[in-house]
C-alpha cells in the first residue's frame, strides 16, 4: 500500500502540472472494470453484469436470436474450456439457411454454456519469469487448449473443425491442434522454453521423423521456431481410429501378421507394405514390433578412463518421495564427491543450466564429459547447443539401462 501511495502521489503531481482533470478516475481500489473484464490483483474475471444478461437470456426463437446469444457468449470464450465443442450444436444451425430447428441437442448446449460462464474461473496474469505449460487436445468436433502456469489457467482456447480439417486422421488433428495453439499463443511462448502436454503419444517423436509430407514438413518447420519439450500424458481419448478394430493382447495378433504377410492373397510383402495392410483394418500397440524383429545394436560402449577429479562427471534429477520437487545431483566420477542442489520440478533447461554454472562450474570449472540419463531437459535443443559451444561431450545413458549412470543412481 505504501508503494501505491507513493506512485499515486507522483501521478497526481503530473496531473496538476499538466492541468489534467480526474473524471472517470478511481484510486486505492483492488479491482477495475476494463473493456468488459474485471481486472484484480490475482488476474482476470468476467463482468457479472454481462453474465447476468446471459443467465436471463430466454430460449432463442429465431436464427438471429441464436446469433446474438452466441456472439455475447463468445466474448468470454477464453474462460470456457472447449467452448467451440460445447457450442457446436448452436453454430451448426446458424450456418443453415432454414427455419430454426431447436431440439434437445441445442437445449443442452444452450444451458451448458450458461452454466460454464456462471462458474467461469479466474484467469491469472502471465509471469514471464515462469515456465508456460500448454495442454492441447483434439476430438472429432474441434480442439481444446489450456495455457497455464503453476497449474493456474491463463486462457482457454478452442476451435471447431470445418472443411478439410474434419477429414483429418487422428494424428493430423492432434498436430493441427498443436499448431493452432502455438499460432494463437506465440506472443507468450517465443521468449523461452515451455512444456507441451499431449495425450497423443506419437507427437513425442516429432523431431525424430525423417520422412514428412508437404503439410507435415510445413508444420514441423513452424514448430522449430519455438523452444519446447513435449510430455505425454494418458488422456481420456483413445488414439485408435474409430473405424479400426482393436485387437486385445493374447488373441489372434500373430495370425493376423502371418496372413497380412504371407497369406493366400499376399506376396511376402516388405515390412512397410505389411504394416499398411494391417493399419487399414486393425490396431494394437507396438504392432510394428510384431512385424519387424529389430537386430541388436551391438555391445555397450564403455565410458572413458578417469584421469582427474571434476573432469568427467554425471548428473541426474531424481524426484522426492512426494513427487513435487527435484534434487539436482552432480557426482564427480573420479573422486565420488557429490553436490546436491534443490530445484523446482517446473524449472526448464535454462534454469538448470544457471544452477549448474552457479554451483558446479564456479567451483570446479567446465567438465570434459557429462554422463546423463534421457531426461527431457537434458535432451532439449538448448542444453545440447550450450554444451556443444563449450566443448563438453554429453554421454547419454542407454535406453532402459540405468547402469550407464550407476554412479549417480547410487547417490540417488
**CA–CA distance, 16 with 13 (Å, rounded to integer):** 5
Residue ranges per domain, the chain?
34-118, 126-232, 245-291, 312-411
> Is residue 67 scored above 80 in pLDDT?
yes
Nearest-CA neighbor of 280 among 252, 239, 243?
243
Q: Which residue has the higher pLDDT, 17 or 273?
A: 17
DSSP state of 17: H
Collapsing DSSP to helix, strand or coil, 170 comes out as helix
Q: pLDDT digits over 264-288, tens only?
A: 555 566 666 676 666 666 555 555 5
Distances (CA, A) of 178 to 84, 166, 185, 286, 312: 16, 16, 11, 24, 39
Its sign, for the CA torsion 345, 349, 351, 354, is positive
**Mind giving me the DSSP string for 243-270?**
TSEE--TTSSHHHHHHHHHHSTT-----
**Res 349: pLDDT:** 80
* Predicted local distance difference test score (pLDDT) of residue 296: 47
**With bands split at pLDDT 50, 70 and 90, how would you rate the model's confidence at 136?**
confident
Are the C-beta atoms of 329 and 337 separated by less than 8 Å? no
- Strongest mean pLDDT among 122-131, 335-344, 362-371: 362-371
More confident residue, 331 or 138: 331
d(CA 99, CA 96): 8
pLDDT at 325: 65
- Can you give the pLDDT at residue 272? 67
- Mean predicted confidence (pLDDT) in 305-332: 74
pLDDT at 30 over 70: yes
For 156-173, how does the pLDDT look when each residue is reduced to its tens digit (9 = 90+)?
Answer: 888 888 778 777 887 788
pLDDT at 356 over 80: yes
Q: Of 20-34, 134-148, 348-362, which range is least confident?
A: 20-34
Rounded CA separation 320/324 (Å): 7
What b-and-e string marks burial along 292-305, b requiring 16 or more CB atoms within 10 Å of the CB?
Answer: eeeeeeeeeeebee
CA distances from 171 to 167, 178, 204, 319 (A): 11, 11, 12, 32
Determine the average pLDDT of the residues in 373-387: 81
Q: What is the band of 292 on the pLDDT scale with cuts at 50, 70, 90?
A: very low
Q: pTM for this one?
A: 0.47
The predicted pLDDT at position 294 comes to 40
CATH for the stretch 126-232: 3.30.420.10
Pairing of strands 152-160, 142-149: antiparallel
Mean pLDDT, rounded, of the chain? 75
> CA-CA distance, 394 to 380, in Å (whole number)?
12
Distance CA 353, CA 369 (A): 15
Give the pLDDT score at 409. Answer: 73
CATH number for 34-118 (one of 3.40.1190.20, 3.30.70.270, 2.170.270.10, 1.10.10.10): it is: 3.30.70.270
Q: CATH topology of 34-118 equal to that of 312-411? A: no
Kindly report, residue by residue over 76-128, the tens digit of the pLDDT. Answer: 787 887 778 788 888 777 766 667 777 888 888 888 888 888 777 778 888 88
Which pLDDT score, from 0 to 100, does residue 69 have? 83
pLDDT of residue 313 exceeding 50? yes
Evaluate whether 333 touches 410 at the Cβ level (below 8 Å).
no
pLDDT-wise least confident of 3-12, 153-162, 246-255, 324-333: 246-255
Residues with Cβ within 8 Å of 269's Cβ and at least 6 positions away in sequence, in order, are 260, 261, 277
- Any idea which architecture 312-411 has in CATH? 2-Layer Sandwich (3.30)
Q: What percent of the chain has pLDDT over 70?
A: 74
The DSSP result for 180-191, as a single string, is HHHHHHHHHHSS
Quote the pLDDT of residue 241: 34
Percent of the chain with pLDDT over 90: 0
Give the residue, 321 or 192, on which the prediction is more confident: 192
Per-residue exposure over 99-138, b if at least 16 CB sit within 10 Å of its own CB, e if not: eeeeeeebeebbeebbebbeebbebbebeeeebbbbbbbb
Name 338's Cβ contacts closer than 8 Å, sequence gap at least 6: 329, 330, 331, 332, 411
Amino acid at each position: 500500500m505504501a508503494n501505491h501511495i507513493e506512485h499515486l502521489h507522483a501521478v497526481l503531481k503530473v496531473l496538476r502540472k499538466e492541468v489534467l482533470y480526474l473524471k472517470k478516475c478511481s484510486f486505492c481500489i483492488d479491482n477495475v472494470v476494463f473493456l468488459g473484464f474485471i481486472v484484480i490483483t490475482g488476474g482476470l474475471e468476467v463482468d457479472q453484469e454481462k453474465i447476468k444478461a446471459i443467465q436471463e437470456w430466454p430460449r432463442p426463437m429465431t436464427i438471429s436470436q441464436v446469433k446474438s446469444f452466441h456472439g455475447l457468449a463468445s466474448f468470454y470464450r477464453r474462460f470456457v474450456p472447449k467452448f467451440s465443442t460445447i457450442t457446436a450444436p448452436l453454430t451448426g444451425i446458424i450456418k443453415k439457411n432454414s427455419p430454426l430447428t431447436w431440439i434437445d441437442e441445442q437445449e443442452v448446449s444452450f444451458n451448458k454454456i450458461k452454466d460454464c460462464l456462471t462458474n467461469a474461473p479466474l484467469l491469472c496474469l502471465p509471469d514471464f519469469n515462469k515456465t508456460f505449460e500448454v495442454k492441447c487436445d483434439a476430438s472429432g468436433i474441434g480442439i481444446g487448449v489450456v495455457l497455464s502456469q503453476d497449474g493456474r489457467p491463463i486462457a482457454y482456447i478452442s476451435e471447431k473443425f470445418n472443411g478439410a480439417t474434419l477429414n483429418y486422421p487422428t494424428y493430423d488433428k492432434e498436430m493441427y491442434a498443436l499448431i493452432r495453439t502455438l499460432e494463437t499463443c506465440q506472443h507468450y511462448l517465443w521468449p523461452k522454453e515451455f512444456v507441451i502436454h499431449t495425450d497423443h503419444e506419437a507427437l513425442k517423436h516429432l523431431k525424430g521423423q525423417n520422412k514428412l509430407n508437404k503439410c507435415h514438413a510445413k508444420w514441423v518447420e513452424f514448430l522449430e521456431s519455438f523452444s519446447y519439450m513435449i510430455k505425454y500424458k494418458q488422456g481420456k481419448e483413445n488414439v485408435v481410429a474409430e473405424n479400426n478394430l482393436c485387437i486385445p493382447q493374447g488373441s489372434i495378433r500373430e495370425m493376423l501378421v502371418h496372413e497380412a504377410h504371407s497369406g493366400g492373397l499376399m506376396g511376402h510383402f516388405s515390412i512397410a507394405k505389411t504394416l499398411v495392410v494391417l493399419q487399414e483394418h486393425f490396431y494394437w500397440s507396438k504392432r510394428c514390433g510384431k512385424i519387424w524383429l529389430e537386430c541388436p545394436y551391438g555391445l555397450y560402449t564403455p565410458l572413458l578412463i578417469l584421469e582427474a577429479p571434476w573432469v568427467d562427471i554425471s548428473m541426474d534429477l531424481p524426484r522426492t518421495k512426494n513427487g513435487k520437487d527435484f534434487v539436482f545431483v552432480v557426482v564427480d566420477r573420479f573422486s565420488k564427491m557429490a553436490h546436491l542442489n534443490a530445484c523446482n520440478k517446473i524449472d526448464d533447461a535454462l534454469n538448470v543450466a544457471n544452477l549448474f554454472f552457479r554451483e558446479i562450474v564456479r567451483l570446479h570449472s567446465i567438465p570434459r564429459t557429462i554422463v546423463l540419463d534421457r531426461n527431457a531437459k537434458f535432451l532439449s535443443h538448448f542444453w545440447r547447443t550450450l554444451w556443444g559451444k563449450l566443448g563438453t561431450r554429453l554421454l547419454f545413458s542407454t535406453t532402459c539401462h540405468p547402469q550407464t549412470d550407476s554412479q549417480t543412481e547410487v547417490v540417488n
